[in-house]
Every structure is written in structure tokens, then in C-alpha cells.
């Protein structure tokens, strides 16, 4: 099938139902063993494993705990919380094995015609078939002769096709909707398969009664005598019912736990793909600091990046620490090194002294790496404690990760080194020949426009990253719910995180992970620290931890890290109002600004929002808006700047209009973010449209996720005042 790889990895991922464009039939995607193996770099592979592990572990914990607060209710079974491949052999504990996965490029996907229940849109007759093959055979028979008992033999008006309704369960199972159902048999306490038979005339032919309002009211009646089938049309998940049937009863499980939901296969809740995106960096960029094996060293890395490094160890401390760790040989070596160094210095032998100093530095670095030496902690307690809770943040929101990633981005891209004939980063204040002819009058105008606009927009730095390297991957799915638990039939149910069905590889069958690496253009923006500080300090905002800003007058990153609170998975904390903090508000500001830029890009580049993505670096006040997709990158963002930078910048500067909303006051009183203005499709947004408010940019209201009543001042208003005052 001809689909882009990005589409296959995300929208046609295994288990997903879909329709071929222009064709009537529905299909279900299946992993293909013929997909090309993906060979991501080691650092990328480790990142993927870490991210799956992180998400799956958090999912397992949340799903397992879903009934914690309910008395006399059996806990969910671990195997219904996550795929059994994510459990230990006893199927009780979470366990992650990288060997369970195989990395594939999403260049080939199999599919089967499904669901396999047929319906005639003319006479309403419904027929379940057992598999795609049988369905095909039956379809050709039906075109010859209508089996409807009241319309003998005339197929001319009949129109058979697949019934687009399926039954889905939060365990991830699904079934075609058929009058033949699995039911729970109270007498034997077992599931049984019941083939529908009319209670009055014994006919096995039924017509579907569609309810215009609700799928849940759909029923079927005898095609022969018209008697309505008296049983509720609710299918059961065979696996679930099989496991709980014997414990159904007072104080135990309930039949509802196995009940499936009637749903259109194309409805969004029928299938949620599990995927993630991250920036890839080459070996040596410093990104290794995030790998699990490096956890001990991360504090040191963070210290350095934030500029809070403590004093170096003196010689006596080094010796004492080595001995305390029982590294006698190393202590002896260190002592000899010091003696050699002293001798060389005494003899004024500079060459040997330099050599000895180099050895000393090298040894210390090695011993520190090995964990035998520890520098005095210089990170403030508030930050150290957050670092210890780091695992509770979801990767894409983890401020420490983002700090390390921004540093790696700075090292590998933002220095603007020439790679493959083009600068890896081009600042808008210094455009290269790809954006404007060198030494031309247009260039001078372009630079002037950009610099002035940046002042008026509170932007410290902005430019084009010519190759923003991203890895997207998908590895599993859930159905009915997109989060680990869901309330159904008066009881919390675990939603299962399913891995994609296994495919046969050279050695054994493994779960496919579809990996897509792309390298497209991106815009980089960094806001003005002084302005952000001033914006956070405004009395109208009532920032709860504004004092951190004065605690760190010269270190904004330290203030932000001290303020950061856990942002996990589904950002549930965002659903209740909380105190404004400097981290939260900075995050919302960057995020709202990023959406604003995305909308500007959409206006002037011809790219739609579906092919743009965002990445935020809160501690560095930076964000990236990138061209997303695998289709040939035709340099859309370069072209936007080359041809439309003036219009683009005017659009951004004209924020009273460009950040307006047709809902006007109604939108502002609801926090200043709605689908009419600053929201974008949830699947594209980093936070599913949370931490978003036009008020952060243009004032006139107050974000709805923070407490308080006062209207805040917008960052763009502040930037405008500031720029005017400076003129
Ligand atoms: Zn018919
Ligand atoms: Zn009947
Ligand atoms: Zn709005
Ligand atoms: Zn967003």
C-alpha cells in the first residue's frame, strides 16, 4: 500500500482499522515481516528503550493502582494493565526487556479486510462471517442472490458491505459486531458462545435496527418474523471473561469488566497509538548524560550546565575519598603522581610538570566517572530533590532532560558550523546566501527588519536550523481509553497498554517498534530573559515563588529548576487550578508563543499544522518549531523567510489582530485558549493543548489553570512597551 512512512508509523499502525481512500473496504493493519530493519545509532536506540520503559512502567503503576481507593473490589490483574511481554515470567511484576523488541522502518505494513460482519444497506440483513476469506466468498454469493426471507432471490436492490461498527474493550481486544455473542453463564460460571436464534420462529437471520442517536441503542430483529432480539447487544472480551469468570460474584469481579463497547471502527477511541518523538544527537554531544548508566553523573552535568558547579576537590579530599572507597591502588598511584609533580616543580622541569598535571586531571576524571570520587554537592537542595524525583516526569516534560538536550543542540547545531555545504544554524540577524543574496540591499533590509521585530517581540535570538534531527517511533496501542484507567460500569478498569503484535524475525518473534528518523528545517526562538523576569514579577500575576527570581538574580535556569513541579503523562495536575509559579508560567508562555509561531508559519509557508511540530526548552527560554514529515523537505521554512519574512514578522507584530479569537470575551474568560484561536490539533501539540493561553502573550484575561482573578499583562505587550521606551 502506498502511504508515507510517517503515516504508516502513526495512522496505520498495527491493530488500527482504516479505509483505503476511494475504496469501500475497511482493513486492519498488521505488522509485516518484510519491513526493512531500522538501524538507529546506539544513543538513539538507548533513548527509545528508555522512553518505552519509562512510559510502560508509569502506565503499569497507574493501572495497577486504579482501584486502590475502592473497598472490597479485587485489584486488577497485571496482565490486563500492560502487555505480558512487559511482565516478568510469573506475570506479577513489571519487567522491561529490550530483547522483546525489533526495530523496523515503517516502509511495509500488512493488512487484512476487517471487520468481517456484512450488512445490506438496503434490506438491513446482517451476516457475521468468520474470517476475511469467508467474507470474500460470501460477498460474491450475496451478489447473486439476496438471502432475505421476505425478498426471495432478488439481489438487484441489495447493497452489501462491511458493518463499520465493532466491539472494543479496554484490554485492547476487539470483535466485529455480530448477533452471535459471548455471554457469561451464571450456572456454570463460564463464558459461552451463543449463536443468535429467533425465540419465536427459530430463524437465524437478522436485520440491524440502527438508532439515529446512539450506537448503544442499536439492536437486531428477526428477519423472518420481525421479533426483536430481547438480549442487550453487548459483546464480551473473551480473554477478560475467561480470566475473571470464576471469581464473578459478591465482593469479587463483575461481568461489566468484560463488557465491550460498541463503537465505529474509525472513531478516535477505537484505537490510540503509543508513540513518541525526540531529538537525536550524535555520540559525544553530551546527550549520553541521560542514559540510565550515567545517572550518578547527571547531578554534575546539571551543575555545570546551570553554572552552579561546586569547588573542586583538594588533594587531601581525593586521597581520603579513594581510601574510603577502598581503592588502595588508586590512592597509591595518586600519591606517586603528587610526589612526581612536586619533584618536577622543584626542579623547574616544566615539561614533566605539565605531563604530571595532565595525568592528574585524567585520573581524577576517570575516578569520578567510576564513582570513587564525589565532588561536594553544589546544587541547591531544592534542585537536588527534584533531580532525585526525575523519573516521575514524562521524558518530554523533564526539565533536566530538556536542559541536557538544549546543551547538546547548542553544541551540535546552534553554533552554526557548516555541515554538508550549509550552516547548521543561520541566525536571522545574519542570513546566509540561502536566505538572501550576500552584500545586497535586500540583505540589509532583511537584517534590519528581523532585528527590529525581535526587539518588539521580546525575542533574544531567532534563526533557522537547517537540519533538525528527530526520531519518531511507535510501539503499541490502547483501545477505548488513552490513559491507564477508565471508569466503566461503576468501577475503575485498567486500560491495557498493548505492544504491537509480534513479527517473525531471524531469531524469534518480537514486538515491532517502528522507527522513523527525519531531518528537516526548523525555526529556533529564544525569549529575552530580562523581559521574562519582568513579566513573571508583575503583581497582577501573583507568582507564588517569585522570590526564587531574587534568590538567583544572575541565574534564571537555577530559579526555574527550583520552581519546576512534576509534569507527568497526561498532565492531570493541569486539570485543577493551582498557584502560578515561575516554571509553570514560563512553560505556558513558551508554549503559547510556540503555537503563535506555528500559526504564523501556517499562514505564510503553505504548510498545514499537521506538518509542523514543536519542542520546548523551558529552562533555556527556547523553543523550536519544526517541519514534520518524511516527504521531501523542500526547504519550506527557508522559503518562508526568503520570500515572506516581512509579512510573517508583521503578522507576529500585529498581535491584537493575529491573536484575536472570534469567541472574544467568552474565550478570554475561559482562559484564552480555544480551538478558534490558539489551540491546534491535539495529536500535534506537545501537551494536548494544556498550559496554553493567549493571555500570556496579549493579556486581557487570565489563564484558567492558575488561581486568582486579576487579568495579567501579556509578554508581547511588555515587549512592545519596552521596545518603544528604548526608541
Ligand atoms: Zn439486501
Ligand atoms: Zn423470528
Ligand atoms: Zn479562543
Ligand atoms: Zn502545543
Quick check: is 369 in a domain? no
Integer Rg of the chain from CA? 31
Those residues whose beta carbon sits under 5 angstroms from the ion ligand 3 are 661, 663, 667, 674, 676-677
> How far, in Å, is the centroid of ligand 1 from the Cα of 118?
11
**Residue ranges making up the domain that contains 556:** 392-473+516-654
Q: Which of 654, 676, 695 is the last residue of a domain?
A: 654
Residue 176 C-alpha cell reads as 466485529
> How far, in Å, is the centroid of ligand 4 from the Cα of 691?
8
Q: Is 288 helix (H, G, I), strand (E, B) or coil?
A: helix
SS in 3 state form for 616-667? EEHHHCEEEEEECCCCCCCCHHHHHHHHHHHHHHHHHHCHHHHCCCCCCHHH
Q: Is 31 helix (H, G, I), strand (E, B) or coil?
A: strand
> How far, in Å, is the centroid of ligand 2 from the Cα of 117?
20
Nearby residues of 81 by Cβ (< 8 Å), 6 or more positions away: 59, 60, 63, 64, 484, 494, 496, 497
Asked whether residue 61 falls in the same domain as residue 124, the answer is no
The residues that bridge with 477 in the sheet, in sequence order, are 273, 498
Judged by its nearest atom, the ligand closest to the C-alpha of residue 571 is 4
pLDDT at 23: 59
Asked whether residue 426 falls in the same domain as residue 468, the answer is yes
Asked whether residue 413 falls in the same domain as residue 507, the answer is no
Residue 710: CB atoms within 10 A of its CB come to: 11
pLDDT at 283: 83
pLDDT, one tens digit per residue, over 175-184 is 999 999 999 9
What phi-psi label fits residue 249: left (phi over 0), alpha (psi between -120 and 50 degrees) or beta? left
Domain count for the chain: 3
Q: Is 362 helix (H, G, I), strand (E, B) or coil?
A: helix
Residue 713 C-alpha cell reads as 499583562
Q: Which of 654, 675, 699 is the last residue of a domain?
A: 654
> How far, in Å, is the centroid of ligand 1 from the Cα of 264?
22
Q: Cβ(602)–Cβ(636) under 8 Å?
A: no
> How far, in Å, is the centroid of ligand 1 from the Cα of 115?
19
Asked whether residue 408 falls in the same domain as residue 430, the answer is yes
> How far, in Å, is the centroid of ligand 1 from the Cα of 224?
13
Judged by its nearest atom, the ligand closest to the C-alpha of residue 206 is 2
> How far, in Å, is the centroid of ligand 2 from the Cα of 126?
14
In 3D space, the residue among 79, 75, 104 whose CA is nearest the CA of residue 94 turns out to be 79
Asked whether residue 627 falls in the same domain as residue 592, the answer is yes
pLDDT, one tens digit per residue, over 212-254 is 788 888 889 999 999 998 888 999 999 999 999 999 999 899 9
Asked whether residue 578 falls in the same domain as residue 486, the answer is no
Instruction: Name the strand (E) or helix (H) holding 432.
Output: none
Judged by its nearest atom, the ligand closest to the C-alpha of residue 690 is 4
SS in 3 state form for 46-93? HHHHHHHHHHHHHHHHHHHCCCCCCCCCCCCCHHHCECHHHECCCCCC
E strands in 280-433 = 418-419, 422-423, 425-427
pLDDT at 146: 78
- Helical pair 295-306 and 381-388, crossing angle rounded to 10 deg: 140
Quick check: is 307 in a domain? no
Give whole-number Cα distances, 165 to 162, 168, 254, in Å. 9, 10, 25
Q: Cβ(281)–Cβ(287) under 8 Å?
A: yes
Asked whether residue 573 falls in the same domain as residue 427, the answer is yes
Judged by its nearest atom, the ligand closest to the C-alpha of residue 196 is 2
Q: How many Å apart are CA 66 and CA 71, to the nearest integer?
A: 12
Asked whether residue 485 falls in the same domain as residue 507, the answer is yes
Asked whether residue 247 falls in the same domain as residue 123, the answer is yes
Asked whether residue 187 falls in the same domain as residue 94, the answer is no
pLDDT at 628: 84
> How far, in Å, is the centroid of ligand 1 from the Cα of 358?
87
Residue 677 C-alpha cell reads as 484561536
What phi-psi label fits residue 315: left (phi over 0), alpha (psi between -120 and 50 degrees) or beta? alpha
> How far, in Å, is the centroid of ligand 2 from the Cα of 224?
5
Quick check: is 610 in a domain? yes
Q: Cβ(208)–Cβ(117) under 8 Å?
A: no
Residue 670 C-alpha cell reads as 475561559
Q: How many Å apart are CA 598 and CA 591, to the nearest integer?
A: 10
Asked whether residue 105 falls in the same domain as residue 170, the answer is no
> How far, in Å, is the centroid of ligand 3 from the Cα of 665?
9
pLDDT at 243: 95
Peptide bond into 277 cis (omega under 30): no
Instruction: Name the strand (E) or helix (H) holding 277.
Output: strand 272-279
pLDDT at 109: 86
Judged by its nearest atom, the ligand closest to the C-alpha of residue 161 is 1
Q: Is 435 helix (H, G, I), strand (E, B) or coil?
A: coil
Quick check: is 89 in a domain? yes
Give whole-number Cα distances, 158 to 133, 151, 225, 479, in Å. 21, 10, 20, 33
Quick check: is 416 in a domain? yes
> How far, in Å, is the centroid of ligand 1 from the Cα of 183?
29
In 3D space, the residue among 423, 425, 435 whose CA is nearest the CA of residue 635 turns out to be 435
Judged by its nearest atom, the ligand closest to the C-alpha of residue 123 is 1
Asked whether residue 462 falls in the same domain as residue 483, the answer is no
> How far, in Å, is the centroid of ligand 3 from the Cα of 463?
29
**Where are the alpha helices (H) located in 174-257, listed in sequence order?**
238-244
b/e 86-106 (16+ beta carbons within 10 angstroms → b): bbeeeeeebbbeeebbbbbbb
> How far, in Å, is the centroid of ligand 4 from the Cα of 599?
11
Q: Which of 623, 639, 654 is the last residue of a domain?
A: 654
Quick check: is 539 in a domain? yes
pLDDT at 1: 39
Q: Cβ(685)–Cβ(677) under 8 Å?
A: no
**Where are the alpha helices (H) located in 554-581, listed in sequence order?**
556-563
Look at strands 206-209 and 125-128 and give their pairing. antiparallel
Ranges under pLDDT 50 in the chain: 1-2
Judged by its nearest atom, the ligand closest to the C-alpha of residue 157 is 1
Quick check: is 64 in a domain? yes
Quick check: is 332 in a domain? no
Judged by its nearest atom, the ligand closest to the C-alpha of residue 681 is 4
pLDDT at 674: 93
> How far, in Å, is the centroid of ligand 4 from the Cα of 692?
8
Q: Is 517 helix (H, G, I), strand (E, B) or coil?
A: strand
Amino acid at each position: 500500500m502506498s502511504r508515507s512512512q510517517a503515516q504508516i508509523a502513526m495512522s496505520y499502525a498495527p491493530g488500527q482499522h482504516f479505509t483505503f481512500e476511494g475504496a469501500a473496504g475497511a482493513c486492519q493493519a498488521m505488522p509485516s515481516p518484510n519491513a526493512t530493519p531500522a538501524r538507529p545509532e546506539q544513543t538513539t536506540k538507548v533513548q527509545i528503550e528508555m522512553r518505552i520503559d519509562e512510559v510502560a512502567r508509569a502506565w503499569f503503576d497507574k493501572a495497577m493502582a486504579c482501584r486502590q481507593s475502592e473497598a472490597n473490589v479485587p485489584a486488577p490483574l497485571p496482565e490486563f494493565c500492560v502487555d505480558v511481554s512487559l511482565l516478568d515470567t510469573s506475570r506479577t511484576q513489571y519487567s522491561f526487556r529490550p530483547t522483546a523488541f525489533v526495530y523496523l522502518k515503517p516502509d511495509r505494513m500488512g493488512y487484512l479486510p476487517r471487520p468481517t460482519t456484512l450488512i445490506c444497506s438496503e434490506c438491513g440483513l446482517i451476516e457475521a462471517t468468520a474470517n476475511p476469506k469467508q467474507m470474500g466468498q460470501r460477498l460474491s454469493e450475496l451478489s447473486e442472490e439476496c438471502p432475505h426471507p421476505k425478498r426471495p432471490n432478488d439481489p438487484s436492490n441489495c447493497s452489501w458491505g462491511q458493518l463499520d461498527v465493532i466491539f472494543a474493550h479496554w484490554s485492547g481486544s476487539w470483535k466485529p459486531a455480530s448477533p452471535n455473542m459471548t455471554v457469561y453463564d451464571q450456572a456454570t460460571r463460564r463464558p459461552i458462545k451463543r449463536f443468535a436464534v429467533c425465540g419465536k420462529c427459530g430463524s437465524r437471520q437478522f436485520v440491524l435496527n440502527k438508532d439515529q442517536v446512539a450506537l448503544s441503542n442499536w439492536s437486531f430483529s428477526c428477519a423472518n418474523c420481525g421479533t426483536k432480539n430481547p438480549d442487550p447487544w453487548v459483546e464480551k472480551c473473551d480473554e477478560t471473561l475467561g480470566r475473571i469468570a470464576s471469581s464473578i460474584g459478591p465482593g469479587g469481579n463483575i461481568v461489566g469488566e468484560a463488557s465491550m463497547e460498541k463503537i465505529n471502527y474509525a472513531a478516535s477511541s477505537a484505537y490510540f497509538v503509543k508513540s513518541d518523538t525526540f531529538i537525536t544527537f550524535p555520540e559525544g554531544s553530551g546527550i549520553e548524560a541521560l542514559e540510565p548508566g550515567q545517572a550518578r553523573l547527571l547531578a554534575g552535568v546539571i551543575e555545570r550546565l546551570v553554572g552552579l558547579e561546586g569547588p573542586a576537590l583538594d588533594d587531601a579530599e581525593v586521597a581520603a575519598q579513594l581510601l574510603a572507597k577502598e581503592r588502595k591502588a588508586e590512592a597509591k598511584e595518586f600519591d606517586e603522581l603528587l610526589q612526581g609533580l612536586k619533584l618536577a616543580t622543584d626542579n623547574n622541569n616544566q615539561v614533566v610538570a605539565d605531563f604530571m598535571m595532565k595525568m592528574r586531571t585524567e585520573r581524577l576524571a576517570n575516578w569520578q566517572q567510576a564513582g570513587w570520587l564525589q565532588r561536594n554537592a553544589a546544587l541547591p537542595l531544592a534542585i537536588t530533590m527534584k533531580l532525585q524525583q526525575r523519573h516521575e516526569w514524562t521524558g518530554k516534560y523533564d526539565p533536566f532532560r530538556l536542559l541536557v538536550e538544549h546543551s547538546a543542540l547548542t553544541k551540535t547545531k546552534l553554533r552554526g558550523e557548516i555541515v554538508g555545504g550549509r550552516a547548521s544554524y543561520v541566525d536571522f540577524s545574519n542570513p546566509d546566501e540561502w536566505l538572501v543574496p550576500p552584500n545586497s540591499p535586500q540583505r540589509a533590509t532583511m537584517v534590519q527588519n528581523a532585528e527590529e521585530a525581535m526587539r518588539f517581540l521580546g525575542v533574544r535570538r531567532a534563526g533557522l536550523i537547517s537540519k533538525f534531527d528527530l526520531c519518531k517511533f511507535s510501539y503499541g496501542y490502547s483501545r477505548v481509553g488513552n490513559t491507564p484507567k477508565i471508569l466503566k460500569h461503576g468501577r475503575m478498569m485498567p486500560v491495557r497498554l498493548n505492544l504491537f503484535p509480534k513479527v517473525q524475525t531471524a531469531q524469534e518473534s518480537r514486538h515491532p517498534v517502528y522507527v522513523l528518523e527525519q531531518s528537516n528545517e526548523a525555526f529556533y526562538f529564544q525569549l529575552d530573559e530580562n523581559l521574562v523576569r519582568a513579566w513573571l514579577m508583575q503583581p497582577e500575576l501573583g507568582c507564588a515563588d517569585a522570590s526564587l527570581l531574587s534568590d538567583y538574580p544572575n541565574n534564571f535556569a537555577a530559579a526555574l529548576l527550583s520552581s519546576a513541579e512534576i509534569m507527568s503523562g497526561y498532565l492531570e495536575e493541569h486539570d485543577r487550578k493551582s498557584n502560578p509559579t515561575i516554571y509553570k508560567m514560563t512553560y505556558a508562555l513558551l508554549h503559547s508563543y510556540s503555537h503563535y509561531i506555528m500559526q504564523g508559519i501556517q499562514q505564510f509557508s503553505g504548510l498545514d499544522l499537521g506538518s509542523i511540530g514543536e519542542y520546548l526548552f523551558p529552562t533555556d527560554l527556547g523553543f523550536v518549531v519544526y517541519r514534520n514529515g518524511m516527504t521531501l523537505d523542500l526547504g519550506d521554512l527557508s522559503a518562508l523567510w526568503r520570500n515572506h519574512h516581512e509579512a510573517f514578522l508583521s503578522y507576529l507584530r500585529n498581535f491584537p489582530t493575529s491573536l484575536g479569537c472570534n469567541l472574544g470575551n467568552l474565550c478570554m474568560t475561559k482562559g484564552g485558549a480555544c480551538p478558534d484561536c490558539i489551540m491546534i490539533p491535539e495529536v500535534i501539540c506537545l501537551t494536548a493543548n494544556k498550559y496554553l493561553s493567549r493571555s500570556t502573550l496579549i493579556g486581557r484575561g487570565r489563564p484558567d489553570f492558575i488561581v486568582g482573578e486579576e487579568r495579567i499583562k501579556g509578554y508581547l505587550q511588555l515587549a512592545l512597551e519596552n521596545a518603544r521606551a528604548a526608541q
